[in-house]
Structure 1
Amino acid sequence: MPMWQIYHPENAFSDADKQEIAQKITSVYESFLPRFYVNVFFHAVPKTSFYIGGEPTDDFVRVVVEHIARSITDPAQQQQFLNGCARILEPYVGARGYRWELHVDETPFELWTVNGFKPPLPNTPAEIRWRTENKPSAHDQA
């Protein structure tokens, strides 16, 4: 599952901005993952709780992306993914004068469940069903 956590100054994004960003992030994955796999969390951080280099700030956005459903091992694909992330975020952060940083963690697929189910392996009939139905369901895990 891709989980994006976006730590940002208070009032950096409107509710409409947040929905647009979440929809754009989801669109990156929807051709090969169930849409419900994509989680986006916005964390507004007050200036008194946001420090960069030991100094309070209100002009920085930190994005943490966690991948579980898929890993990106090819360096060219990694760069392509990072470039895509920048295209999504730039109009909302850099273009508005915010400094920003992003990193991606990858968690082992084997250490993941959804509603208590082990997710189906990539491109299996069960995963295709999860993607089509946009919800988890029981499947043969063999």
Structure 2
Amino acid sequence: MPYWEIFTPESAFTPEDKEQLSERITSIYVDYVNLPKFYVVVLFKDMPPNTMYVGGKAHNNFIRIRLDHIARQMDDPAVRKLCMEVIEEKLAPFVKDRGYDWEVHIDETPMDLWRTQGLVPPPPESDIEKLWAKENRPVPYELTG
């Protein structure tokens, strides 16, 4: 599961912006990694003025993005570089192009420390994961091995 927390100044994004940005974020994982859409969760946190501080000073034009990757791990430095480039490209119209300062980081959590709807997610690229993607929801299945 990719889980995104996006901390923004209040009113930085309209509801339409949030939906469009969430769709762009989801497309990263569907188009590049073949993940089911429902794996992608985006949480927007609107921050009131003077609640985000950078270097000890209030920074009311700052967007902080924290990602948690669980469904896939990136061991290859070239894949990591590409991932960050794609993320920056998807964010640009909503962040960079609007004049915000921003920061992004990714944590990777081991897949065995994740459940969805109480189910162990299927192995990557497996037939059951493909079924989950088609159904856009977790489907109960029997674990083997």
Whether these two folds match at TM > 0.5 is yes
3-state DSSP of counterpart to 2:64:
strand
Distance 1:141 1:68 in 2: 19
Aligned identity (percent) is 41
**By how many angstroms is 1:48 displaced?**
2.4
SS at match of 2:50: helix
Q: 1:61 and 2:44 equivalent?
A: no
Q: What is the rounded CA distance, in whole Å, between the counterparts of 1:140 and 1:34 in structure 2? A: 19
Give the CA deviation at 1:124: 1.2
**Which of 109, 120, 123 pairs up with 1:121?**
123
Aligned to 2:86: 84
Partner of 1:71: 73
Point out where structure 2 has 5 or more consecutive residues left out of the alignment: none
The residue that corresponds to 1:136 in the other structure is 138
CA deviations over 1:67-123 (Å, ceiling 9, x no partner)? 000011111111111000101111111111111000000000000000000000111
AA paired with 1:37? Y
- How many Å apart are 1:30 and its aligned residue? 1.4
Unpaired segments of 5 or more residues in structure 1? none
TM-score normalized by structure 1? 0.97
Match for 1:16: what amino acid? E
| Matches for 1:83-122 after TM superposition, within 5 Å | 83-122=85-124
| Structure 1 consecutive aligned stretches of length 4 or more whose deviation exceeds 2 Å | none
| Alignment size in residue pairs | 142
Structure-2-length-normalised TM-score: 0.95
